[in-house]
Structure 1
Amino acid sequence: MKALVIGCGKFGVRVSEYLARKNHDVIVIDNSPETFLALSEEFTGRTICGVGYDKDVLEQAGIASADVVIGCTSSDSLNAVVANIAKNVFHVPTVIARMYDPIRARMFESMGIYTVSITRLGLDNVMEYLEGNRSWRVIRKLGNDVQLVKVRIPASLEGKKYSEFDVAGKISLIAVERHGRSFVPERDMCCEYNDILYLSVCSDCMERARDMLQL
């Protein structure tokens, strides 16, 4: 996995070194070269000195081929700008932003950007999301009975019709995201590998939905 980490403060260092130890390709961006001194001698990733939201800097870091971008700075505003660029300009598959403001965090999560905060044990939360929940994630609970779920289509389901995911009164496909574009699918359209589906699922039907999606 190729990961861009924006910000080399304490949180950025922890995230970067963890990913590097897991043999991922890690590039750290910070506008202060002194911050890179906090990285251990064992760190195998690369560092780039520059402004984290500068498109030229991001392109130099290879954002076009990145699997994940993680905004780790201490500024909600900066992390928000980086997340927006990564998600909507470069269409990075997974975007994570550290957020202190819970209102802004909820807004970004509704846009498909995962957020973490110190109140949610930041590093553990990032790792849990990257390693265990990339293909299936509950992004909102609508009361106690319905949940809004974000799902990434595995290769084994490519070619399956979207209509096959609908279960009357239980599971309903709301929208599809493909190559950075969102749309409401027609019933005879078929899945493509790495499509992102947004489904409403009744709470008592979650296991059935996971089985249908082979997750």
Structure 2
Amino acid sequence: MHIVIMGCGRVGSALALSMEDLGHSVAVVDQDPNAFRRLGTGFAGRRVTGTGFDRDTLIDAGIQGAGAFAAVSSGDNSNILAARVARETFGVENVVARIYDPRRAEIYQRLGIPTVATVRWTADQMLRRLLPAGADEHWRDPSGTVILAEVNMNASWVGHRVSRLEDAAGVRIAALTRLGHAMLPNNETVLQEGDLAHVALLASELPKVEEIFAKGPGH
């Protein structure tokens, strides 16, 4: 897939290098040609100097053949405008914009522009770690039957296998975040201090699952 990224700051450059490592072709757009230094000499994609909502600049970046577009510059207005041009003018299927103002993010989500509200996301993640309790829903299927949620675990689960917690709660732990990195657990994986459990479960079972995770084994 060809991916166009507007903004070559820390997020944009890291995203571009990650996408290239995954085998995608990448073009990065930035008004400041010096910003491309963050990509390093090994980056094989296109470096396009210009504004990410300018039609000719986007064409130079290969937007007409792009399957995805990310607007991650430092300006909310620029990101939203660029995302709308990519979606509405060039018909790019996968578009996302980074937004600093969470109030704007909610508005553009309703307009069909997926957004990442940086301040709100960071605050929510900090809150989850300062006051861990209950569950934080990540995803819900269209029927509302199945959800994926981060569920807080009692510290007494540390040292037990993932399979024991799954059996006790009747759920599937789809992933763990450990020391900042995601991993897929298996039946032999042992829970460690600080693990965050991302759990697939029936929505109707959430209260019961929260209670079992909170009580710990043997209760």
- Pairs aligned (count): 131
Following superposition, the deviation at residue 112 of structure 1 comes to: 2.2
C-alpha spacing 1:110/1:139, structure 2 compared with 1 (3 Å): farther
Instruction: Tell whether the 8 Å contact from 1:94 to 1:113 is kept in structure 2 after alignment.
Output: no
Q: How does 1:20-59 map to 2 (within 5 A)?
A: 20-59=20-59
Partner of 1:104: 104
DSSP 3-state at the match of 2:96: strand
Query: 1:64 is matched by which residue type in structure 2?
Result: Q
Partner of 2:86: 86
C-alpha spacing 1:34/1:139, structure 2 compared with 1 (3 Å): farther
Query: 1:84 is matched by which residue type in structure 2?
Result: R
Instruction: Tell whether the 8 Å contact from 1:69 to 1:92 is kept in structure 2 after alignment.
Output: yes
Runs of at least 5 residues in structure 1 that lack an aligned partner in the other structure: 122-136, 148-202, 205-215
DSSP 3-state at the match of 2:81: helix
Query: 2:44 is matched by which residue type in structure 1?
Result: T
Partner of 1:131: none
DSSP 3-state at the match of 1:4: strand
Q: How does 1:41-190 map to 2 (within 5 A)?
A: 41-119=41-119, 120=121
Structure 2: distance between partners of 1:95 and 1:108: 12
Deviations 1:75-122 (A, max 9, x none): 00100100111111111101010011111111111222211133436x
Structure 1: distance between partners of 2:100 and 2:16: 20
Provide the alpha-carbon RMSD of the alignment: 2.5
DSSP 3-state at the match of 1:112: coil
TM-score, normalised to structure 1, is 0.55
Runs of 4+ in 1 over 4 A off after TM superposition: 137-140
C-alpha spacing 1:32/1:110, structure 2 compared with 1 (3 Å): same
C-alpha spacing 1:27/1:12, structure 2 compared with 1 (3 Å): same
Partner of 1:18: 18
Query: 1:17 is matched by which residue type in structure 2?
Result: L
DSSP 3-state at the match of 2:3: strand
Q: Percent identity among equivalent residues? A: 33
Structure 1: distance between partners of 2:30 and 2:61: 12
Structure 1: distance between partners of 2:23 and 2:44: 8
DSSP 3-state at the match of 1:73: coil
C-alpha spacing 1:44/1:103, structure 2 compared with 1 (3 Å): same
DSSP 3-state at the match of 1:91: coil
